[in-house]
């Protein structure tokens, strides 16, 4: 039981650190990029610019905050359930990390949506005209991508017997 407490504490502390990093980069973006200022990091490739995103990528669901609230609460609850059920063995450490990334990214953007009714985005991958995004979006994207890879190539069905209810 002591190990479970350490595991849970580590998850919460690491998540708080990732969320704080995301919030810090957003505050920096507001301060340095507000008023239409752009910072070109790599010409025609990568630019930093401020955007108040009231929807999702490509502006979809603009103004539909309640949808984001419901999805985020559901995903966060599901990930917390998974974290509290993951066996404390090395084999499950990659799953712990991807849950940490997705949870932290979801909460990072959720905090923005609740407090400001928009998400601060500031990273623009100009080369492919990709939607402007933020650090929390990176957490979610990388976490989901790695989760798919883990499910396809690392874990097997029997690795998830811990999710079955005990009778």
Task: List Cβ neighbours of 107 (8 Å cut-off, separation of 6 or more).
Answer: 15, 19, 72, 76
22, 112, 129, 137: which one is catalytic?
Answer: 137
121, 129, 157, 159: which one is catalytic?
Answer: 121
Residue 17's region, left for phi above 0, alpha for psi from -120 to 50, else beta, is alpha
Q: What is the DSSP string of 76-125?
A: HHHHHHHHHHS-SSGGGHHHHHHHHHHHHHHHHHHHHHHHHSSEEEEEEE
DSSP class of residue 159 equals: G
Whether 121 is a known active-site residue: answer yes
Integer angstrom CA distances of residue 30 from 24, 37, 50, 113: 10, 10, 7, 15
Decide: helix, strand or coil at residue 167.
coil
Whether 112 is a known active-site residue: answer no
Please give the backbone phi and psi of residue 105, each rounded to the nearest 5 degrees, phi first: -65, -45
Catalytically active residues, by annotation: 121, 137
């Amino acid at each position: 039981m002591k190990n479970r407490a350490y595991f849970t504490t580590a998850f919460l502390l690491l998540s708080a650190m990732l969320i704080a990093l995301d919030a810090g980069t957003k505050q920096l973006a507001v301060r340095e990029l507000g008023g239409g200022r752009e910072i070109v990091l790599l010409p025609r490739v990568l630019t930093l610019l401020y955007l108040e995103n009231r929807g999702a990528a490509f502006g979809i669901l603009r103004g539909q905050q309640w949808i984001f609230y419901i999805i985020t609460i559901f995903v966060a609850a599901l990930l917390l359930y998974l974290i509290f059920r993951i066996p404390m063995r090395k084999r499950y450490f990659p799953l712990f990390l991807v849950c940490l990334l997705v949870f932290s990214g979801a909460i990072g953007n959720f905090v923005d949506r609740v407090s400001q009714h928009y998400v601060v985005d500031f990273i623009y991958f100009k080369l492919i005209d990709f939607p402007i995004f933020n650090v929390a979006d990176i957490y979610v994207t990388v976490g989901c991508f790695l989760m798919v890879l883990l499910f396809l190539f690392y874990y097997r069905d029997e690795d998830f017997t811990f999710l079955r209810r005990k009778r």
